[in-house]
Structure 1
């Protein structure tokens, strides 16, 4: 607080343009980048309302410092430490989600993911076809469904809330699980690889205030698990029969079968045709060199 008062006393009386170095510009860009992402994150949480109140208080403190209101500044100095601690305690769930989100960003995955892609990927094309077939069939008859597909982030804590299935992914099994008035229809299904690991799983609900009021618990649960893990969640609406996809906290609504296939292929982590062609070319080059060496 004393530093703020000192800064204002020295700069308000004699304004001057400081010398800007290249390092200062880089530092400002980094700070701007961090502030932007903090504001984007805060806008979708209850922190946004609190942040607006904090801005008003900061402006009030600056005015008090400018006019040297000693009593107000004394109160601020003594309350500041307690206020920061209280904010951390109150916003603990939001801060936890933010820190979890940092670890699952794509730029970290690119640096830390040493898993090689395979020709099959995380799950096979057959699994994609079965999931799409099941979702389309359930959408036609307006059967609600919630399917979570695991990637790098483990879903073990959510599996433990459900019932073990450990069965191959088939459209018939998925449809039977979510059929009305069956013991397993309520809750989420978790898929790992080509297998359904568990059903009737409980998922965390999203606090995102931008989600429409018309969306129910199923959609909020789908978005909620995508906020804290890198999983892809497919939601079939019981009211409208529309298929939605939740990924990285974003909800894409009313997707058709082709768009659903595209989203599933994006997370399949399958070796692309380009990579296969490069491998084939390398093999041909090596074999040609071997043949030429023998001919000589």
Structure 2
């Protein structure tokens, strides 16, 4: 049936069911990609895409020998995939039977996020006690690529030891900001825009102005450790929350990183901090 005939003979119910059908298929494809992301199955999927592209090019150019070889690969490839990835397929079916296949990705992301929060808090505690200046910005929905490109690329796992080592004075990377993207340290020694707000206290230095500046133009979360006082601050949405305790920092990070947290579920320490600081 042609597209014009489909639209002319279909009812509203058929339109809606077709849309739901497409959305469900895309949802399952998306979830499958999220499940295999970071595993060796990713290389397999890339290889399948390459074979399909070569098949299309061969048909277009009339490369009959290459097309025959690709057809043989496709014919016997499915059986080979089942044999090679038998353990992974069995594990996926078991998780599907338990209803866990689509929650595993979210749980893994939450675990990585929690590890990142703890690493930042631990590093902030160490640097605050020794008055080591630090500036850490966490990317949210708004990309920070322009600012990442001003620094030294690292693409490293977030750990308190690495964060501390970066900000040790007189080291090559200590002057500037660390930017965290997708739970990884994307770059260090990055330059952030300075806030020109006239309401910012004169006693605050360049790090605090940079933290406030990046929060004014993006939705990032930025942590500052003062080199002069050792106090910890957090900037978000053009607001600078100063002199945070470690518990307040931890809970602010959890709440601002986790958009699904409801206000009434906010922990007691955070409630006390808000009441105290307005």
**What TM-score, normalized by structure 1, do the two folds share?**
0.51
2:256 matched to 1:267? yes
Q: Which is bigger in relative contact order (C-alpha 8 A, separation at least 6)?
A: 1
Asked whether 1:168 is paired with 2:145, we answer no
**Who is 1:221 aligned against?**
210
Deviation at 1:270, TM superposition (A): 6.6
Aligned counterpart, 1:200: 189
Structure 1 match to 2:21: none
- Cα-Cα RMSD: 1.8
Q: In structure 2, do the counterparts of structure 1 residues 210 and 179 end up closer, same or farther at CA, with 3 Å as the change threshold?
A: same
- Seen in structure 2, the aligned counterparts of structure 1 residues 222 and 128 have a Cα distance that, compared at 3 Å, is same
**8 Å Cα contact 1:123-1:193 kept in structure 2:** no
- Structure 2: gaps (5+ residues): 1-104, 263-278
- What are the superposed Cα offsets for residues 131-184 of structure 1, whole Å, 9 maximum, x if unpaired? 100001000000000000010000000000000011100000000000011000
Rounded to whole Å, the distance in 1 between the matches of 2:158 and 2:114 is 11
Alignment of 1:54-93 (within 5 A): none
CA shift digits 1:54-111 (9 cap, x unpaired): xxxxxxxxxxxxxxxxxxxxxxxxxxxxxxxxxxxxxxxxxxxxxxxxxxxxxxxxxx
Superposed counterparts of 1:44-123, under 5 Å: 118-119=106-107, 120-121=109-110, 123=112
Aligned counterpart for 1:150 among listed residues 112, 121, 139:
139
- Whether the 8 Å contact between 2:255 and 2:261 is mirrored in structure 1 is no
Partner of 2:225: 236
What residue in structure 2 maps to residue 125 of structure 1?
A: 114
Cα distance in 2, alignment partners of residues 124 and 151 from structure 1: 12
Quote the Cα distance in structure 1 between the aligned partners of 2:181 and 2:111.
8
2:174 and 2:185 mapped to 1: Cα distance?
14
Instruction: Describe the SS at the equivalent of 1:147.
Output: strand
Distance of 1:207 and 1:272 partners within structure 2: 32
TM-fit CA distance, 1:206: 0.3
Partner of 1:124, secondary structure, is helix
Q: 1:255 aligns with which of 244, 252, 276?
A: 244
The structural deviation recorded for 1:212 is 0.4
Task: Report SS of the residue matched to 2:106.
Answer: coil
| Length-normalised TM-score, structure 2 | 0.54
Matched residues in 2 for 1:152 and 1:162: separation?
20
Report the CA distance between 1:252 and its aligned residue: 0.6
